[in-house]
Amino acid sequence: MSFENTTVLVVDDEPDLRTLYELTLLREGYRVYTAGSVLEARAQLQQRRFEILITDMRLPDGLGMELLQDLRSQGRSERAIVMTAYGSADNAVAALREGAFDYLTKPVDLKQFRQVVASASQGLQDTPVQGQAQTTFQPLPAAGAPPSGAPGQRELIGPSLVMQQVRERIAKVAGSMAPILVRGESGTGKELVAQSLHRSSQRANGPMVAVNCGAIPENLLEAEFFGARKGAYTGANQDREGYFQAAHGGTLFLDEIGELPLSMQAKLLRAIQERKVRPLGAQQEEAVDVRIVSATHRDLAADVQAGRFRQDLYYRLNVIDIFIPPLRERREDLPALCQVLLERIANESGQPVPQLSAEALQTLAGHALPGNVRELENLLLRSVALSDGAFLQVEPADAASPVPVPARVAERMPTYEPGAAPPEPKAEAAAPSSLQRFPPPQDLPSDLQSWLDAIERDILVRALQEFGFNRTAAANRLGISLRQIRYRMERLQIHDPSDGVQP
Ligand SMILES: Nc1ncnc2c1ncn2[C@@H]1O[C@H](COP(=O)(O)OP(=O)(O)OP(=O)(O)O)[C@@H](O)[C@H]1O
């Protein structure tokens, strides 16, 4: 890699150290400028732009942090690396929060120094820069990456304000090394956020390793995370690398971080602080360069209070926080999400994209969907699989407990009340309630049988769900015989969930 065009300003008040950093960088090919104080650094910054600013935290006339604040307030694009005293975790975290690209602890290890500066100089032209929030989110595709829509390249969909803010935050923080904690209920898209962060960072061409911390047996955790030497334990027939080594140069996504046992939390903290890991059975530590993104559906702050999660690790992982609200609090995202998920399903099965009727969308909007986008995805998948062609029907698992639609969402939806009991038919009109749920289409249906089947299926499923799939009770409620309901269920492919097949 050539660093010829990368200009670096090194700020340190100790002449010997300044020279050491300068020589190290010159040998790598950078163009290096130096300053010994905040004042001198400001003068240099006024004269020209740099690609990278490396500053000591304590300077004779102030703090390196002030330079970071200058960069931020002036909207400058220099990537800042701060050198902090060993053990001052607070300073490192504060610097990252202030927008520093990365930090180094003193005494500075020169190998790590070169690595961190090289990492800061990667992709300088393409990536979002610190302190400059992008208003639109455009993930940068990795070289040789699969086309958009492929599993590795899924985008975070949702026009709601909160999702716009999530995308803006990703664009703003992706370019730094600051650890990020993604919070949200299960299925809200935390892994997707981690993927977007990785793709939008200058590490996009490096690996992204996703680990579910809750799925690894406790006795294997250390070897899985840090690797193991041949013979380190029974069955270790060869050297094997851990997640940290596999993610070197890229992003390590630690999902369900709250599930890590306390003993492993201590080891993880050390690896993050030292940027070194020691494989099981090895004498030497290995330097690793990974960006940590973690995720949890738990209230980690409460876990810290309860002594289940180490405060120092929480502090380290949670330098930047991204929260994804549950789907029920952003139902305006439903139409766009349904569209994208149906396109995905259609792509995978090679079928044309199925359409969701306004009524079906309303039904979805009226239910809590506690499993969030993953539940929506499964629901649509099932609907497509069971659809008999005319139009898609959806039956959320919580159909018996619809939730009210918030006013702001209801305003944008047709007036049909989702999940509500159909209005009582007026005596003179004697219209069957199903027709209020499925109002006759404006145009005559092109396939009457399918249209009627869909109505019948909807009524049967609702009746069955109301009585916990007790066929006799549902048949009684609908005024038909047990034999008739069995026949209709078979014809319309309605299955009792306790038989293992969802309706
Ligand atoms: N905003 C979104 N746009 C498009 N797809 C989404 C969105 N949010 C979630 N998904 C999809 O929903 C599914 C679940 O998302 P993901 O695995 O990222 O959730 P999660 O919060 O990490 O879940 P868990 O906590 O259970 O691991 C995935 O298929 C993902 O692609």
Encode pLDDT of 193-244 as tens digits: 999 999 999 899 999 999 999 888 888 899 999 999 988 877 778 889 999 9
Tokens matching residue 370: 């506690």
Task: Give yes or no for a contact between 101 and 174, defined as CB atoms under 8 angstroms apart.
Answer: no
Find how far residue 438's CA is from the centre of its chain: 37
Q: How far is the CA of 311 from the centre of ligand 1 (A)?
A: 28
Q: Which residues pair with 56 in a beta bridge?
A: 83
Q: Atom of ligand 1 at shortest distance to CA of 376?
A: 12
pLDDT for res 465 = 86
pLDDT tens track for 85-137: 766 667 788 888 888 999 998 889 898 899 999 989 886 644 433 333 222 22
CA nearest ligand 1 atom 16, residue: 189
Whether ipTM exceeds 0.90? yes
Question: Residues 146, 383, 335, CA angle at the centre, nearest 5°?
Answer: 65
pLDDT for res 202 = 87
Distance separating alpha carbons of residues 409 and 332, to the nearest angstrom: 6
Q: How far is the CA of 258 from the centre of ligand 1 (A)?
A: 18
Q: How far is the CA of 412 from the centre of ligand 1 (A)?
A: 25
Q: How far is the CA of 375 from the centre of ligand 1 (A)?
A: 10
Q: Which residues pair with 43 in a beta bridge?
A: none
Q: Atom of ligand 1 at shortest distance to CA of 194?
A: 18
pLDDT for res 408 = 38
Q: Which residues pair with 62 in a beta bridge?
A: 59
- Domain 151-325: CATH class, spelled out: alpha beta
What count of Cα atoms within 13 Å lies in the side-chain half-sphere of residue 118?
14
Mutate to test the pocket of ligand 1, among 167, 188, 212, 299 (most ligand atoms within 8 A of CB): 188
Q: How far is the CA of 186 from the centre of ligand 1 (A)?
A: 8
Mutate to test the pocket of ligand 1, among 374, 375, 377, 380 (most ligand atoms within 8 A of CB): 374
Distance separating alpha carbons of residues 503 and 500, to the nearest angstrom: 10
- In order of 54, 344, 348, 385, 454, the CA distances from 351 in angstroms are 54, 10, 8, 11, 20
Q: How far is the CA of 123 from the centre of ligand 1 (A)?
A: 28
Q: How far is the CA of 451 from the centre of ligand 1 (A)?
A: 33
Find how far residue 4's CA is from the centre of its chain: 36
Q: How far is the CA of 335 from the centre of ligand 1 (A)?
A: 16
Q: Atom of ligand 1 at shortest distance to CA of 182?
A: 21
pLDDT for res 65 = 93
Q: How far is the CA of 410 from the centre of ligand 1 (A)?
A: 25
Q: How far is the CA of 273 from the centre of ligand 1 (A)?
A: 30
CA nearest ligand 1 atom 25, residue: 186
Task: Give yes or no for a contact between 320 and 201, defined as CB atoms under 8 angstroms apart.
Answer: no
**Comma-separated ranges of CATH 3.40.50.300 domains in the chain:** 151-325
The residues near 144 (Cβ < 8 Å, ≥ 6 apart) are: none
Q: Atom of ligand 1 at shortest distance to CA of 333?
A: 1
What count of Cα atoms within 13 Å lies in the side-chain half-sphere of residue 471?
15
Q: Atom of ligand 1 at shortest distance to CA of 377?
A: 12
Q: Who lines ligand 1 at CB under 6 A?
A: 154, 156-158, 184, 186-192, 255, 297, 337, 340, 373-374, 377
Q: How far is the CA of 177 from the centre of ligand 1 (A)?
A: 23
Q: Atom of ligand 1 at shortest distance to CA of 340?
A: 4
| CATH number listed for the domain at residues 7-121 | 3.40.50.2300
The residues near 426 (Cβ < 8 Å, ≥ 6 apart) are: none
Question: The whole model's pTM is what?
Answer: 0.69
CA torsion angle 170 174 176 182 (round to 10): 60
Q: How far is the CA of 371 from the centre of ligand 1 (A)?
A: 10
| CATH number listed for the domain at residues 328-499 | 1.10.8.60
Ramachandran sector of residue 389 (left: φ over 0; alpha: ψ -120 to 50; beta: rest): left
With a cut of 50, list the residues of the chain below it in pLDDT.
Answer: 125-152, 398-436, 501-503
Distance separating alpha carbons of residues 179 and 316, to the nearest angstrom: 7
Task: Give yes or no for a contact between 277 and 285, defined as CB atoms under 8 angstroms apart.
Answer: yes
CA nearest ligand 1 atom 26, residue: 186
Q: Atom of ligand 1 at shortest distance to CA of 193?
A: 18
CA nearest ligand 1 atom 9, residue: 189
Tokens matching residue 104: 């180094």
pLDDT for res 441 = 58
Q: How far is the CA of 214 from the centre of ligand 1 (A)?
A: 17
pLDDT for res 415 = 29
Question: Residues 323, 324, 330, CA angle at the centre, nearest 5°?
Answer: 135
Q: Atom of ligand 1 at shortest distance to CA of 151?
A: 31
Q: Atom of ligand 1 at shortest distance to CA of 186?
A: 25
Q: How many CB atoms lie within 10 A of CB 88?
A: 15
Helices (H) and strands (E) in the chain, counts: 20, 14
CA nearest ligand 1 atom 23, residue: 187
CA nearest ligand 1 atom 8, residue: 189
